[in-house]
């Protein structure tokens, strides 16, 4: 038995003993078997390979830490030197020039994302159950490893041990437009399938909207202020607990796929994907659909920023911690390294970026102290029995307001610090091959994109998949209430009104209830 097999066997044995006692332990998520990678047939105007499966080289080695000679610093795109930009272009050009069957090639690198997020892989021993790295606690660590190996391949192709990927910090007003280095038509960093409204312009990405939104247009000042408020909302208000930030636990051998996306994955992650994708393709390819997103070089600097924000979340509050469950720490993935060697990695080995040899340059975080510099107005329409009764399941075709009785009101500061009050929108059904979006508000008099941000809880947004075959999938969406209730002076209220506003696509909601989440426990 291999060392890894021994660890998994012991972990499963321990889990069987302690299941149901204290913190529950489930089966471990094992890296997929490449030999049974499924072909995916995607129809539409965009040409997609019939298979996204990588070359199947049977020899697999376990990841071993290198001793970093230094900690490399990933810079913001706008702070890159001319020399760094040229090296980035050359490394990408060489990656694109590799044979498409070379696992280090740009085509194969793009297929890594395609395979892991579009049902090409199944859970080990469960061929009917797709392995999905979005909408759960796998999201952050999978993409960190993905970027780590992508960067190492680029570095090796230009034989420059100092090379690092940059990050696109669109959470800062100075960087809310498409970075100009990706907008040169003859550059290897260019992708034709992009939202042309963003190309060669100063048009801002709007976190409250999507690329073809018919909602009223906002001024640049309004967009910037809304974007900053969304960032604070997602990084602070909706991230008080580990579960809110990371998303739900990935449970192996469950009756159906379990989807509970984390706060940052939903916004700004999903909305940036949507905005950058083309308006002229069926699903917003490239960036606007997960099966093609990594074909656009901007995908990687989008995700370095998401990776940076993971670290920011831990830095802004010492109580913000990574999950410590065994089934999280020992979950594993497979990637090809810069020598085309198939390598098995575990989540526990990517939690310290210094151990991986990199960190992010320090840049301003203008959304962090936003509540100290702004005193917004708010609306508090208290819960009322005059609202018509809403029956679930609910097909969300128009704005719906639901009065909910809270389980506990007027909570102490100690109670608020230890447990977060949340609204859970449960058993959401939608077509995962389509863009879907709806907004959530608390106690508004009415609600649309111009409603004051003090009443805005968050938005749910689905980025389309390419060829999903699983039908019986339901999603849970969690929004934090504690700060919002304090902000609109409603913490003493026994009833509150949750308003759901459909923005795009067809949505069916199974239920809505209030619960409390511990800061760290899942």
- Give one DSSP letter per residue of 405-431, joined into a string: E-S--S--HHHHHHEEEEEEEEEEB--
Kindly state whether residue 330 falls inside one of the protein's structural domains.
Answer: no
Percent of the chain with pLDDT over 90: 70
Q: List the structure tokens of 301.
A: 């600097």
Within-domain flag for 120: no
Query: Is residue 125 over pLDDT 60?
Result: yes
Considering the chain, what is the average pLDDT of its residues? 88
Q: Does the residue 8 lie in any domain? A: yes
Residue 79 is a catalytic residue: no
Question: Out of 84, 259, 273, 291, which one is annotated catalytic?
Answer: 273
115 vs 344 pLDDT, higher one: 344
Q: Tell me whether residue 319 is in a domain.
A: no
Comparing 13-27, 162-176, 412-426, the range with the smallest average pLDDT is 13-27
* Residue 380 belongs to domain with CATH number: 2.60.120
Mean pLDDT value across residues 445-453 = 63
Backbone angles phi, psi at 314, to 5 degrees: -75, -30
Question: Which residue of the set 63, 84, 106, 113 is catalytic?
Answer: 113
pLDDT at 1 exceeding the cut of 80? no
Q: Given its phi and psi angles, is residue 398 left (phi above 0), alpha (psi -120 to 50 degrees) or beta?
A: beta
134, 259, 291, 302: which is the annotated catalytic residue? 134
Please say if 269 is a catalytic residue. yes
- The one catalytic residue in 143, 150, 291, 302 is 143
Residues sharing a CB contact under 8 Å with residue 20, sequence separation 6 or more, in sequence order: none
In whole angstroms, give the CA distance from residue 249 to residue 246.
Answer: 9
- Mark whether 291 is an active-site residue: no
Is 302 marked active-site?
no
Active site residue 259: no
Q: Is residue 231 part of a domain?
A: no
Does the annotation count 167 as an active-site position?
no
Do residues 399 and 447 touch, judged by C-beta distance below 8 A? Answer: yes
Pick the catalytic residue from 259, 269, 291, 302.
Answer: 269
pTM of the model: 0.91
Task: With cut-offs at 50, 70 and 90, classify the pLDDT of residue 48.
Answer: low
DSSP H helix total and E strand total for the chain:
13, 17
Mean pLDDT of 116-125: 73
| 8-state DSSP, 323 | -
Q: What size, in residues, is the chain?
A: 522
Which of 4-18, 29-43, 221-235, 332-346 shows the lowest per-residue confidence on average (mean pLDDT)? 4-18
Indicate if 290 belongs to the active site: yes
Q: What is the pLDDT of residue 216?
A: 74
Task: Tell me if 421 is assigned to some domain.
Answer: yes
Residue 36 is assigned to a structural domain of this protein: no
Q: Which of 381, 365, 366, 368 is nearest to 454 (CA)?
A: 381
Which structural domain, as residue segments, surrounds residue 4? Answer: 1-28
Q: Could you give the percent of the chain with pLDDT greater than 70? A: 86
Q: For 181-196, how does the pLDDT look when each residue is reduced to its tens digit (9 = 90+)?
A: 999 999 999 999 999 9
Q: What is the mean pLDDT of residues 338-362?
A: 98
**Per-residue pLDDT at 433:** 87
Rounded CA separation 79/432 (Å) = 37
Distance CA 291, CA 293 (A): 6
Q: What is the total count of domains within the chain? A: 2
Residue 409 lies in a domain: yes
């Amino acid at each position: 038995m291999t060392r890894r097999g021994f660890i998994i066997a012991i972990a499963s044995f321990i889990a069987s003993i302690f299941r149901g006692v204290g913190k529950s332990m489930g089966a471990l998520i094992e890296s997929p078997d490449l030999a049974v990678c499924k072909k995916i047939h995607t129809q539409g105007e965009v040409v997609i390979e019939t298979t996204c499966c990588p070359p199947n080289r049977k020899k697999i080695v376990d990841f071993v830490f290198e001793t970093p000679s230094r900690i490399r610093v990933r810079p913001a795109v706008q702070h890159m030197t001319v020399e760094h930009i040229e090296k980035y272009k050359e490394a990408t050009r060489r990656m694109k020039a590799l044979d498409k069957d070379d696992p280090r090639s740009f085509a194969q690198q793009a297929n890594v994302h395609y395979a892991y997020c579009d049902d090409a892989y199944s859970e080990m021993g469960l061929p009917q159950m797709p392995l999905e790295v979005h909408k759960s606690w796998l999201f952050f660590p999978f993409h960190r490893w993905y970027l780590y190996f992508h960067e190492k391949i680029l570095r090796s192709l230009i034989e420059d041990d100092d090379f690092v990927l940059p990050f696109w910090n669109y959470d800062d007003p100075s960087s809310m437009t498409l970075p100009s280095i990706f907008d040169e038509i003859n550059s290897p960093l260019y992708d034709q399938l992009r939202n042309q409204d963003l190309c060669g312009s100063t048009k801002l990405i709007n976190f409250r909207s999507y690329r073809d939104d018919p909602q009223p247009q906002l001024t640049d000042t309004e967009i910037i202020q809304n974007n900053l408020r969304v960032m604070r909302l997602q990084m602070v208000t909706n991230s008080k607990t580990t579960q809110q930030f990371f998303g739900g636990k990935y449970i192996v051998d469950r009756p159906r796929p379990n989807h509970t996306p984390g706060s940052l994955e939903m916004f700004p992650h999903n909305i940036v994907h949507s905005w950058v994708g083309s308006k002229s393709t069926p699903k917003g390819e490239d960036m606007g659909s997960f099966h093609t997103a990594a074909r656009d070089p901007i995908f990687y600097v989008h995700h370095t920023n998401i990776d940076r924000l993971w670290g920011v979340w831990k830095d802004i509050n010492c109580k913000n911690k990574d999950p410590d469950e065994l089934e999280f720490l020992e979950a594993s993935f497979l990637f090809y390294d810069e020598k085309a060697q198939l390598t098995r990695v575990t989540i526990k080995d990517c939690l310290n970026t210094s151990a991986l040899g990199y960190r992010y340059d320090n840049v301003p975080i203008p959304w962090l102290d936003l509540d100290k510099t702004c005193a917004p107005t708010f609306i508090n329409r208290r819960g009322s029995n005059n609202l018509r009764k809403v029956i679930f399941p609910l097909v969300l075709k128009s704005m719906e307001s639901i009065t909910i009785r809270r389980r506990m009101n007027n909570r102490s500061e100690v109670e608020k610090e230890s447990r977060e009050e949340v609204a859970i929108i449960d058993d959401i059904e939608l077509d995962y091959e389509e863009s879907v979006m709806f907004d959530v508000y608390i106690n508004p008099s009415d609600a649309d994109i111009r409603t004051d941000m003090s009443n805005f809880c968050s938005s749910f947004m689905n980025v389309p998949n390419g060829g999903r075959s699983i039908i019986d999938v339901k999603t849970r969406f969690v929004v934090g209430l504690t700060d919002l209730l304090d902000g609109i002076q409603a913490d003493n209220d026994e009833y509150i009104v949750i308003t759901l506003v459909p923005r795009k696509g067809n949505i069916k909601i199974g239920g809505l209830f209030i619960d409390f989440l511990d800061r760290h426990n899942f």
